[in-house]
Amino acid sequence: MHLRIIALSILAATLSASAQQPPAPLKADSILILKKDHLLELLSAGKVIRTYKVALGSGGLAPKERQGDARTPEGHYVIDNRNAASHYHKALHVSYPNADDRKRAARLGVAPGGDIMIHGLPNGQGLIGSAHRIYDWTLGCVAVTDQEIDEIWTLVPTGTPIEIRP
C-alpha cells in the first residue's frame, strides 16, 4: 500500500512540475519587415509570435537601389548566415541582393551592394537600448536592441525566409 501511495505521489509531483513550466518558445518559420511602420514580425505557421520596433537605413524609406545609398532593401530573401562576433552585438545576414536586385542594379549601371543584416547595437553602446529607434541610423540594415537580437537569434534558424515590404 505504501509503495502505491509513494508512486502516485511521485507521479502527481512530476505532472505538477511539468504543468508549471512555461511552454518552449516557437521557432519562427518566416520574418516580415514593414518598413513604413518600422516593425519586424516573427511568424510561425502564419501567426505573429513576436513583434519588434526597428531602426532602418538612414537613406530613407525608398527601396535600396545601389551600394552606399544607406537604404533598406525590399523583396524576398532568406537568413543565410549568422555572426555571433558582429560589430553590432549579433547579426543575422539577409541574402540581399536577390536576382531582381541584381537586374535592377545592372539596368542602372551600379553595384547593388550587400551586407544587409538584422543586428543589435554597436558593441559597447548597448545601454542606448530602445532610444536607438529615435531615428533611422543604419547603412541599410535592420537594427534592434541587443536583448531583442538575443531573442531573435534563438527563434530564427538559418534558412528562414524574410520579406521586406515598403
- Kindly report the backbone phi and psi dihedral angles of residue 15, in degrees, each rounded to the nearest multiple of 5, phi listed first: -65, -40
Does the annotation count 93 as an active-site position? no
Does the annotation count 38 as an active-site position? no
CA distances from 25 to 49, 85, 120, 152 (A): 9, 24, 21, 11
Among 89, 93, 132, 141, the active-site one is: 141
Instruction: Select from 93, 59, 90 the least CA-distant residue to 79.
Output: 93
- CB atoms under 10 Å from CB of 120, counted, come to 25
* Whether the bond into 97 is cis, omega within 30 of 0: yes
Among 89, 93, 119, 132, the active-site one is: 119
Catalytic residues: 119, 141
